[in-house]
Amino acid sequence: MRSWLMMTGGLLVWAAHFLGVYLISSLGDVAATADAPAWRGAALVFSGACLVAEGAVLWLLARRARVADDEGLAPFTIGVGLTGALAGLIGVVWQTTPILMAG
């Protein structure tokens, strides 16, 4: 189970970011408008938290990569996890860009 979490941690953060930003903008659209400053601020704060989480996943995997043994699946697991976390980081930044440009 730990190997799966290591491999999918960054992608899970990206998925949570997608769902969270979608939920925040949907609630903002029902309450006022999705580009109202309060809702944009909430989405930016949430995006910042997701960026910190992606950074933490990357840091933990990079730290674990330094001490991983060369036997078994540890290097493969860490490599897949790092790739997924980098893709997740790029995804979070990509999804945050329209929020930044909307104002």
CA gap 96, 23 in Å, rounded: 14
Per-residue pLDDT tens digits for 58-89: 999 998 887 766 666 688 889 999 999 999 99
Above pLDDT 70, what percent of the chain?
Answer: 89
* Reported pTM: 0.87
pLDDT at 18 over 90: yes
Three-class secondary structure assignment of the chain: CHHHHHHHHHHHHHHHHHHHHHHHHHHHHHHCCCCCHHHHHHHHHHHHHHHHHHHHHHHHHHHHHHHCCCCCCHHHHHHHHHHHHHHHHHHHHHHHHHHHHCC
